Structure 1
Amino acid sequence: MQNAILPILMFLAVIMSVFAVYSLVTDIFVRDRKRVQDRLDVEFHNKQREKVKRSLLYKGTDPFQFNPSDAVQLRSTWSEWLQSILDQSGLEMTKSRLLIYTVSVAIGCGVLSGVLIRNLIIGLIVAVFSSIIPLMYVKFKRNRRLEAMRRQLSDAFDLMARILRAGQSMSQAMQAVGNEFASPIAEEFAYCSEQQNLGLATELSMRDLARRTGLIEINIFVVAVLVQRQVGGNLSEILEKLANVVRERYKTRGAIQTLTAEGRMQASILMALPPLLLVAMLIVNHDYAMVLIHQPILIGGMAFFMLMGGLWIRKIVNFDF
């Protein structure tokens, strides 16, 4: 009997030892990981709070006495459009810094091409066309960020619907999205929640959310929330239906991107072919290519018609639905 009990006790002792070692190691590493994650969450919310305090909507107003009807109607100007592009890109960049980058790239590319080709007019043409590179980079980052946000929207609306059904408020639902999701949707919803926590009117903060994101799905969400605040209704059910609509729109958008992939590839090849051939001729037969270089009007016309063709193809393969 004792010989039968001894192996069982040894087996239990080994299991308990392994469990104790596992618990110790897990406690050490998970505790440190949780502490780091908590600090990151605190820093994230502090950053959003400081960003709200620096915003133009918060400056110069008493947040506890602010009336949305007293807000000045924003006019669509070039400066505001540029600021919206920067906000939607998620880059920590101001309009003045973007202007500095634009001027620097234009001067650098223009001087470099002018020195290499030894033609002032060509240098000016290159400077003009290269000045749009920083803005193109900002728009590229903006498109990637908005596409990532579209992928997260349906799940975020589902989470908000469940939280509202549990009896929580809209501000708490938006804060939950900021806590549970990754960037970029976490940043935008946490920013909107911090605006409301600092006393900014709900209507104004929601409209600012729609302006910063620039997505039609967010615009629909903002309109639904504002209408529900005025006339009432089941907001959780509205968010569930909106999540289904956003999910179907994303599927349709993916199908459109697949069907228009050939057109976009053709546009890229047609836009890249003339400059690449010019560079190849400069390397292979320099004297022959310099005949074209000494005709800046032809190069300017080629660049103009290439730009028009690229915009035309872009208009064909990109459309709203």
Structure 2
Amino acid sequence: MASLSLLQRYGVYLLVLFAVALLVYILISLIQSFSMEQADRKIRENRSEGMANNIYFFIGRATLQQLQLSLGILLAGGLITTLIFCQVSESLIIVPVAALAFFLGMAAPWFYFSQKARRRAERFENSILDLSLGLTSGLRAGQALPQALEVFSRRCEGPLKEELMIVIREYRLGLELAEAMQRMYNRIPCEDLQLLIISIRLTTQSGGSMVEVLEKITRMIRGRTEFHQKLKALTAQGRFEALAMALAPLVAFLLLFFINNDLMLPMVQTLIGWCAIGAMLALEVIGYLVIRSIVDIKV
């Protein structure tokens, strides 16, 4: 009878968790719908960062919401099931642990696709120097600017090739080349690309040697790239220290847990222990973000 009542109590926990998950899913759906409407409006006004620098470039909004909800419920339900088999009957422990597992399950897909979008934007930005060099070489060989752009798009790889194919397609449909490249900048903003587009637009409108202008822009982009790489190398130690300081308490907790199990068990078996863990995690996240903001130098 005692085990039956315990199962009934955990069944209530699962129902409450499902209801909370459903409410969170509806709330997130509303927030993301509003965000997508704002993004679409800004894209129409040519002031948005576009979809290429957004996680929805890799996955649909509805699919992402379903993945978040499924993973959150899976982690929380699996954790509650594990606690049932471990005969943990303290409800004050189960509720915050299940809520934390559900939150992690909801946040993991968003973080994963955000990282993919960030890496894609970085790869695109690192390819702008190659684009400038390719256009300069093509113009020196006697090609027109659209022809040089098309020839270079066949040789390059990655996000730059994808974006250039869109530019060439729009140009063939009647859009001016400078305008098509400006639309590429609206999809995935990059300061070096903006310099290149401005130089092409001004040279096309006012006349002059396109090759000489692109050579100067290439030297400027090369200097900016070297400066950013040097700055990234100088701040690498700070980023590593932020990560090391954030992971140090977790590593210490795991070591102490395996060395002296009886000493650390109250941390995971009492409400005060879980409150201490929650406060520790919050302080670690704040400290990590503060250090990253210090070493993240905008130029």
Cα RMSD after superposing both structures: 2.9
Deviation at 1:158, TM superposition (A): 1.6
How far residue 224 of structure 1 moved from its aligned partner, in angstroms, is 2.5
Whichever of the two has the greater Rg, that structure is 1
Q: Does residue 86 in structure 1 map to residue 55 in structure 2?
A: yes
Give, in angstroms, the shift of residue 197 of structure 1: 1.6
Are 1:222 and 2:197 counterparts? yes
Q: Deviations over 1:111-158 (max 9, x none)?
A: 334444551212212322443322322233334334433443223212
Which amino acid counterpart does residue 110 of structure 2 have in structure 1?
L
Aligned position for 1:316:
294
Matched, 1:191 2:169: no
Q: Following the alignment from structure 2 to structure 1, what is the Cα–Cα distance between the partners of residues 47 and 211?
A: 33
* Secondary structure of residue in 2 paired with 1:185: helix
Alpha-carbon offset, residue 226 of structure 1: 3.0
**Structure-1-length-normalised TM-score:** 0.65
Q: Is the 8 A contact 2:129 2:218 kept in 1?
A: yes
Structure 1: unaligned runs, 5 residues or longer: 1-70
User: Which letter does structure 1 place at the counterpart of 2:95?
Assistant: L
TM-score (norm 2): 0.70
Q: Please state whether the residue corresponding to 1:174 is helix, strand or coil.
A: helix
* Residue from 258, 262, 282 that aligns with 2:237: 262
After superposition, residues 220-299 of structure 1 pair within 5 angstroms as 220-293=195-268, 294-295=271-272, 296-299=274-277
Secondary structure of the residue aligned to 2:45 is: coil
1:105 and 2:71 are equivalent in the alignment: yes
Q: 2:109 aligned with 1:134, yes or no? A: yes
Query: 1:182–1:302: structure 2 CA closer, same or farther, 3 Å change rule?
Result: same
Deviations 1:47-86 (A, max 9, x none): xxxxxxxxxxxxxxxxxxxxxxxx941565xxx7776323
Say if 2:120 is the partner of 1:145: yes
Contact 1:83 1:95 (8 Å CA) reproduced: no
Residue identity in the other structure for 1:251: E
- Per the alignment, residue 59 of structure 1 pairs with none
Aligned length: 245
**Identity of counterpart residues, as a percentage?**
22
Alpha-carbon spacing, 1:172–1:249, altered in 2? closer, same or farther (3 Å): same
Q: CA distance change for structure 1 residues 74 and 103 in 2, over 3 Å: closer, same or farther?
A: farther
User: Is the alpha carbon distance of 1:120 and 1:146 closer, same or farther for their aligned partners in structure 2, counting shifts above 3 Å?
Assistant: same
Secondary structure, aligned partner of 1:131: helix
Choose the corresponding residue for 2:278, options 282, 296, 300. 300
**Are the aligned partners of 2:51 and 2:187 in contact in 1 as well (CA < 8 Å)?**
no
